[in-house]
Amino acid sequence: MEGGAKTCTGCGRVVDEGNNMVSEVGFVEGSNGRMGVQGQFVSASGSMRFRSNASGYNRNSREQTVQQATNRLQELASKLKLGNSHVEQASRLYSLALSHNFTTGRKKEHVAAACLYIICRRDKTPHMLLDFADATQINVYTLGHTYLQFCHLLNMELPVMDPCFYVHRFCARLNFEDKTQAVVQSSLRIVQRMKRDWLQIGRRPAGICGAAILIAARMHGFHRTNEQILGVIRMSSTTLKKRLAEIEATPTSELTAAEFGTVDLEEEMDPPCYTDGLRRDEINAARKKKREEREKKRAEKEEKKKKKRKLKQRNEGAEKEEKKKKKRKLKQRNEG
């Protein structure tokens, strides 16, 4: 190999001239007398090229698209108070989306917001999909659909968000004054207890936080209504009532406010899905038993009806035979 070219040691034939890329910069004079750079510049990614002309470099459409997406990401990050590192990581994800043609048939704003949300999920920042929907004025279900499709395309598994990340944020918006930290600590303790009782699995973090904060606020003397909590966590009243009902079914609900801070229960509840399954099995078994009892009573009634019908037919047959005998005797007497 000489000068980057592969040659045969036997005959001297050049097999491969090697890489013709050089680091020197050459200049040529155009027909109009203006000087220009000779050759092409290849960026660090290797896929974005810049063509040269007399006035300098012109970026191609792909680079312009990525730059526009970066500008959108910076604008969205400023609304959500995110740093430049999140924007850079989201920009690289957007480049991956372009490489896989994921932006085809989708709005660029949706893809950019989905990329930034993935970075927030991966870095475990206290941001929800609803925050992105509000900042971009995009329907949350449309944004969630784009996010799930992109994760499926890249085969990406994101960590499950811990409800503890949202407790400080929600408590700060509910204005607990100088007892904010105490309410936060109690809420975190309730969330940890809910984890031990399997109440967190399969539930949205906002609903878990809402129920924990509502109970912690009542423990510290703050009367926060369900509507105030729902306005912060942005969940339905049905979800909040279900979470409260699940907590009520655990041994933790039997503790007083003073005992809750000192007593650590070692008993763990079974998962709600397991207890619900047992309850459904009991209900189905009771229904089956009632159904069998009804069928048994119906069969007994049918049996009694059959017996009555047979007895009636037998009696009617006996009466008919008796009448026939009387008629025959009377006829024979008359004839005699």
Q: Which strand (E) or helix (H) includes residue 145?
A: helix 140-154
What's the pLDDT at 48?
44
Residue 47 clears pLDDT 60, i.e. is over it = no
d(CA 245, CA 275): 14
Q: How many CB atoms lie within 10 A of CB 76?
A: 22
Q: Which of 137, 122, 111 lies closest to 85 in space, CA to CA?
A: 122
Residue 51 clears pLDDT 60, i.e. is over it = no
| Banded pLDDT at 52 (limits 50, 70, 90) | very low
Query: CB–CB of 4/18 below 8 Å?
Result: yes
Q: To the nearest 10°, report the CA torsion of 38, 39, 45, 47.
A: 140
Residue 20 clears pLDDT 50, i.e. is over it = yes
| Banded pLDDT at 4 (limits 50, 70, 90) | low
What's the pLDDT at 41?
55
Segment 195-244, tens digit of pLDDT: 888 888 888 888 999 999 999 999 888 888 889 999 888 888 899 999 89
Query: CB–CB of 272/246 below 8 Å?
Result: yes
Residue 319 clears pLDDT 50, i.e. is over it = yes
What's the pLDDT at 213?
92
Query: CB–CB of 77/115 below 8 Å?
Result: no
Average pLDDT of the chain is 83
Phi then psi for residue 146, to 5 deg, are -65, -40
| Banded pLDDT at 75 (limits 50, 70, 90) | very high
Residue 86 clears pLDDT 90, i.e. is over it = yes
d(CA 157, CA 206): 21
Angle between helices 61-80 and 129-136 (to 10 degrees): 110
- Residues pairing with 142 in the sheet: none
Residue 116 clears pLDDT 90, i.e. is over it = yes
d(CA 110, CA 117): 11
Token pair 């709005």: residue? 107
Query: CB–CB of 258/230 below 8 Å?
Result: no
What's the pLDDT at 310?
86
Percent of the chain with pLDDT over 90: 30
